[in-house]
């Protein structure tokens, strides 16, 4: 009873940290991409409520920024799921 059983599920005896430095760098890059997407979405309001500003519906805000945000979340998922040795 004094002996510890060997792990048979493929896990090593010495557990390592689940994420390496490379994972954290990729996580930071994904966060910056998400932040860039939100910055590109910001702004575009009109000074006067009587005027309509077409800049609110620019390609940058409607297409590019959401693609960057979703891409950033994909990078975050990849960085968490990828196992580096």
The pLDDT score that the predictor gives to residue 4 is 56
Instruction: Say how far apart CA 1 and CA 80 lie, in whole Å.
Output: 37
Give the pTM.
Answer: 0.73
List the chain domain ranges: 21-45+53-81
Spatial CB neighbours of 10, under 8 Å, sequence gap ≥ 6:
none
3-state secondary structure of 21: helix
Residue 15 banded pLDDT, cuts 50, 70, 90: low
pLDDT tens-digit readout, 34-49: 999 999 999 766 677 7
Quick one: which of 38, 24, 33 has its CA closest to 80? 24
Name the DSSP letter for residue 51.
S
């Amino acid at each position: 009873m004094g002996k510890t059983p060997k792990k048979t599920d493929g896990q090593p005896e010495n557990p390592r940290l689940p994420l390496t430095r490379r994972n954290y760098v990729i996580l930071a890059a994904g966060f910056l991409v998400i932040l860039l997407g939100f910055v590109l979405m910001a702004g575009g309001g009109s000074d006067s409520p009587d005027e309509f500003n077409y800049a609110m519906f620019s390609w940058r805000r409607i297409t590019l920024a959401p693609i960057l945000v979703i891409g950033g979340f994909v990078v975050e998922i990849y960085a968490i799921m990828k196992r580096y040795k």
